[in-house]
Chain A
Amino acid sequence: MRTLAKASVRRGLRPLLVLPLFFGIAGPSCEYDVVEDPGFQFWCGDELCEWDTVEGEIERVPTWHEEDAAVALIGSPVTLEQRFATRVNGCVLIELIADVDPGVSVTIAIDEDGVEPPEWDADVDRSGFQRMSWRVEVDVRGEPENDDAPDPDAAPPGTVRIQKTTPGHAVITQLRLSKRCGGHSDP
């Protein structure tokens, strides 16, 4: 009888055993972007609203749809840059969709502290709007060198940069940097 009672209690508690698994694995999660306008959709006249054209000329070009915009890097050199929209520390997924002719030199780089050389960079060698992706450890927290507490209102120091150094066809339609948080761990 006692064994039977134990067994039924065990059966009753069985569903509870999966709860930690549920919250641990499939628990609340989120994903946030650390740069704005990753799709180069926001144009203020001839310039991108969220990206700084440090040097060179850019142009809005349509892609698969008239209203799905991309940025064409005209001539060379061309440098586009954006400061990180948020502080981030950890693994960041970088997803790029580009159409760059072979032989045209385009790189993307992450500069964590504003001091050359950048902490990470990669060549973009995809034609026909192919996707490239990387997982990169990024530390853009704005921690001061001394013991002062970081100013929470100050912009994070990191930047992401697209640089074209040779002439030729180069169109970038997406440069997304995203960070996962919550229930999921970084891969």
Chain B
Amino acid sequence: MRLILIVVNLCIALCATAQNEIQYFSDENFAFEVKQIDEFIERFNNSENTLIRQYIKDNYGTEELSREDILKSLFNQKNESWNLRDVDNFIEQIINRDYTLKFDDKDWYAKLDCSVDYLGEEFSMTMIMNIEKNPKSQAKKWVITSVDAQFLDIPESSDKSKSINPASHGTNFIALDRALEDTSNMKNYVSSGFKPDQLTLFMSLLSCRKISIKQVDRIQYHFLQIDGWAFSVKNFERNSKNSGWLIGKLERMDNYQKNEYKKSVLNLK
């Protein structure tokens, strides 16, 4: 009976949400909330001695909490469009193959939506970060792997006819300086297949102090290390047991699709 209660608490958090909206200072909600991505990983891995297990033991008098219950509680249950079959298959696979997430796994990324100040104007920019481990010292750090912002793209040319003429070599490219001063048509002067490396541009602007980060508006974590699946986790800040860092999206994905996802969503090469 107690177990049923817990599962109800964990899995039917929608009801709890409605009741708890009126609460002001709830230890219960705070205990159930996935407060950090570290806690998400702990719960995903079904680690022992976690805060939630201790809380349930202390308050519900049971330790009978299955990994399935915990995994289900890690989904955003306010999303009514879950493909429940996919969710079940995913959970089944995690349990059967005993998958765990490690902090220094290679294939998980933080996607940060940032506001930046570029030459006195505010712009949006996406930054992708992941964990890098120093094999010698075992030290870990977050590193920037890519950035994506419209203002870092080379703008479309205003006059496609402008170019460095085919006889320029005859004059030792005497007109090169004039061409490169024409910043409104920059795209005409580089190879048509050229795609600028935005991270390099960003670093260059940083070193010239022409850009600065104002704030991080949103964070989403993308986990691609589970065979056949990708899921993203974001922070659902609300007065509910089902709150905090939760799975907001789950997709079946083979390796090819994951590579495409990295290119299109994470702006990785």
Does B bind A? no
